[in-house]
Amino acid sequence: MFRTGNASFNYQAILLGLSAALLPAALFAWHLRVPPSERISSAAVASRQESADAAPARTRSAPAPEAAFRAAADGRVDIPPRFQLPGVAHARSAANLQEWVAQFPPDQQQRILDFDEKHFGVYRVNSPEQVAWMAQNGYPLPEDVIAAEGLTDDDLRELARRGNDKAGFMLRERNIEKTRQKVDAYVAQGRTQADFWTGDPDAQQLAHDDRLTRQIIDQSNSPYKGFVQTQEAALLSEPVGIDSTVIAGLSWARRLGDFRAQQFMAEYVADDPIREAMQAVANAVASNHTRDFTLMQSRGCERIGTPPGMSIPGAFAPVD
State the pTM of this model.
0.78
Does the pLDDT value for residue 2 go beyond 90? no
254: domain range? 222-303
Residue 214 inside a domain? The answer is: no
Q: Read off the pLDDT of residues 197-228 as tens digits, 9 standing for 90 and up.
A: 888 888 889 999 999 999 999 999 999 999 99
Residue 275 inside a domain? The answer is: yes
Mean pLDDT calculated for residue range 65-83? 86
Considering the chain, what percentage of its residues have pLDDT values greater than 90? 58
* Cα–Cα distance, 296 to 291 (Å, whole number): 9
Residue 243 inside a domain? The answer is: yes
Q: Read off the pLDDT of residues 7-58 as tens digits, 9 standing for 90 and up.
A: 444 444 443 343 333 333 333 333 334 555 556 665 665 555 444 444 433 3
Residue 167 inside a domain? The answer is: no
- Nearest by Cα to 186 from 172, 174, 202, 173: 202
Q: Which of 23-32, 68-77, 304-313 has the highest mean pLDDT?
A: 68-77
DSSP letter assigned to residue 258:
-
Q: Share the mean pLDDT of the chain.
A: 82
Determine which helix (DSSP H) or strand (DSSP E) holds 171, and give its type and residue range.
helix 165-188
* Cα–Cα distance, 127 to 100 (Å, whole number): 10
Q: Is 227 exposed, middle or buried (0-12, 13-18, 19+ CB in 10 A)?
A: buried
| Local confidence band at 62 (pLDDT 50, 70, 90 cut-offs) | very low
φ, ψ dihedrals at 26, nearest 5° = -65, -20
Q: Read off the pLDDT of residues 139-149 as tens digits, 9 standing for 90 and up.
A: 999 999 999 99
Q: Is the dihedral of CA 181, 184, 190, 195 positive or negative?
A: positive
Mean pLDDT calculated for residue range 138-160? 98
Considering the chain, what percentage of its residues have pLDDT values greater than 70? 74
Q: Considering only residues 80 and 24, tell me which one the structure prediction assigns the higher pLDDT.
A: 80
| Local confidence band at 87 (pLDDT 50, 70, 90 cut-offs) | very high
Report the pLDDT value the prediction gives residue 196, as an integer from 0 to 100: 85
The residue type found at 230 is T
Report the pLDDT value the prediction gives residue 11, as an integer from 0 to 100: 45
Report the pLDDT value the prediction gives residue 21, as an integer from 0 to 100: 37
Report the pLDDT value the prediction gives residue 47, as an integer from 0 to 100: 56
The domain tally of the chain equals 1
Report the pLDDT value the prediction gives residue 166, as an integer from 0 to 100: 98
* Cα–Cα distance, 183 to 236 (Å, whole number): 12
Residue 202 inside a domain? The answer is: no
φ, ψ dihedrals at 91, nearest 5° = -145, 155
Residue 75 inside a domain? The answer is: no
Residue 135 inside a domain? The answer is: no
Residue 26 inside a domain? The answer is: no
What percent of the residues of the chain are helix, what percent strand, and what percent coil, each to the nearest 5?
Answer: 65, 5, 30
